[in-house]
Amino acid sequence: MKLFQNLFDATRPAVTTGSLKGLFPLHNALETMFFVPNHNAHSGAHVRDAIDMKRTMITVIFALVPALLFGMFNAGYQHYRALGLVGGGELLAEFFTIQNFLFGALRIVPMITVTYIAGLAIEIYFAYRNKHAVNEGFLVSGILIPLIMPIDIPLWMVAVSTAFAVLFGKEVFGGTGMNVLNPALTARAFAFFAYPTYMSGDKIWINTAPEQGAQVVDGFSGATALGQLATTGQTSYSAWDAFWGFVPGSIGETSTFAILIGAVFLIYTGVGSWKIMLSTVLGGLTMGLIFNAAAGSLEPGAMKSYMELPYYQHLMFGGFAFGAVFMATDPVSAAHTERGKWIYGFLVGILSILIRVFNPAYPEGVMLAILLMNVFAPLIDHYVVEANISKRLKRLKLQQS
């Protein structure tokens, strides 16, 4: 402890007045990470809540840990299952193995590292350029971005997508707190449209590199449940598999259960908005019910059987749960007013399922639904604020009459 403090003290003159001035934001970011500074309240209220932006962000990261760890196991499990090296035995015993975990960790940890390096380098540059401290928002984005990527995406694509998201999703708007779009989803949308062969289809969700002399087993399909549903209207995965997460998909999105643990943590700590999560789920359920009801009038076929998917199962497949809990709730890009959050979340839910079922080009609709609603969130807020304003005007008129 003393050692670090001495180190920071010794290097401070160089970055404040010396030749390394450009490194001050980096120095400051590291120092405030090691030691919460001894700033005292100097204007206004003399006591302050012990929460700060760093603690808020680390709380979100804690909430992501179950999904992250599960994703590591699942990456390995899907890989070895595709090669026929596991499967057929006791599921849990075959799933939670060191082998699976290491397989996943060895691919996911480099992705996280690359994301942080690419993103933080840009953040620190802009902190230096605009003379402010490094904001902590990217600590969360840096974990979120790998979790919504397929396991086999090349690292350089992760880096380019991250750089694009930070630059054009955030810094051009003025940095943390000013962005319109969710930065993590911007990264994914960029990758999705720039490198479609690495981001969609039925070959990319599972690593199928031959190993231990084993090849991909005959009759193997790497399609996700939603991919299957979009083409045939049927899926080979059960709803329970999807709930627990033993299915292919983006790294962090598969286990609804692990995401639920994170959701409970976020809601309980008060960091995530339960209003957005609940209204998103309600929106998804509503759209699912509408499809169920409408399916009866359709000609038999893939679309009819897709629409007949029980409404609640939409919550378990694909990225719906991950989007509802970790993406839609991003406080900066979501609606800011409490009433607006209900409307925003509900529409995210509706649109997610609508795009998912109706648009064959995008087997998953959550990403685009949230990005679209990010764009509309200020409009929702505008009307909520206008309602408050018109209430005040009405009161004035009442007084004058």
Partner 1 sequence: MLNNHLFEPGLVYICPEILAVMPNVHSVRNGLDLPILGAPEAIVDGHLSTSVYAVRPSDFRGLAPKLAVKEGDRVLAGDILFTDKANPQIAIASPVSGEVARIERGDKRKILAVVVLADAQQSYRSVPAGTPANREDAIQWLLGAGAWSLIESRPYGRIANPEAQPKAVFVNGMATEPLAVSPAVALAGREEDFAKGLQVVGLLSPRTVLSIGANETAPALTKASGVEIHQFKGPHPAGTTSVHINRISPINKGETVWTLNYQDVVIIGHLARTGNLKLERVVSLCGTGISKPRAVTAVAGAQLEGFLSTELKSGAYRVISGSVLTGANVGKNGYLGYYASQITAIPEGQGTDFFGWVIPSFGKWSISRTLFSWMTPSKKYDLNTKQHGEDRAFVVTGVYDKVFPLDILPMPLIKAMWAKDLEKMEQLGAYEVVAEDFALCEVVCPSKQELQKLAGEAIDLLYTEMN
- Binding residues for partner 1, rule: CB under 8 A, are 1, 4-5, 32-41, 43-56, 58-59, 133, 135-137, 175-178, 268-271, 273, 331-332, 334, 336-338, 341, 381, 384-385, 388-389, 391-393, 395-396, 399
Q: DSSP code of 153? A: -
- Angstrom distances, CA of residue 330 to CA of 10, 122, 185: 38, 20, 11
Find the shortest distance in angstroms from Cβ 308 to partner 1: 38
Output b/e per residue, 240-260; b: 16+ Cβ within 10 A: ebbbbbbbbbbbbbbbbbbbe
Amino acid, res. 393 = L
Rank residues 38 and 197 by Cβ distance to partner 1 and give the closer one.
38
CB of 267 to partner 1, least distance (A): 10
Q: Which residues does 141 contact at the CB level (< 8 Å), separation at least 6?
A: 115, 119, 162, 165, 166, 183, 184, 187
- The residue among 106 and 391 lying less far from partner 1, judged by its C-beta, is 391
Residues whose CB is less than 8 angstroms from the CB of residue 386 and which lie 6 or more positions away in sequence, other chains included: none
**Least distance (Å) from partner 1 to the CB of residue 23?**
18
Cβ closest to partner 1, residue 94 vs residue 136: 136
- Shortest Cβ 227–partner 1 spacing (Å): 35
State which residue, 48 or 129, has the beta carbon closest to partner 1.
48
CB of 344 to partner 1, least distance (A): 11
Q: Pick the closer one to partner 1 by CB: 57 or 147.
A: 57
Integer Cα distance of 74 and 147 in angstroms: 12
Closest contact distance (angstroms) between CB of 342 and partner 1 is 12
Pick between residue 209 and residue 398 the one whose CB is nearest to partner 1: 398
CB of 6 to partner 1, least distance (A): 13
- Tell me if 133 sits within 8 A of 32, measured CB to CB: yes
Q: Would you call 40 exposed, middle or buried from its count of C-beta atoms within 10 A (0-12, 13-18, 19+)?
A: exposed
DSSP, res 89: S
Q: Which of 228, 246, 194 is nearest to 80 (CA)?
A: 246
Compare residues 212 and 392 and give the one whose CB is closer to partner 1. Answer: 392
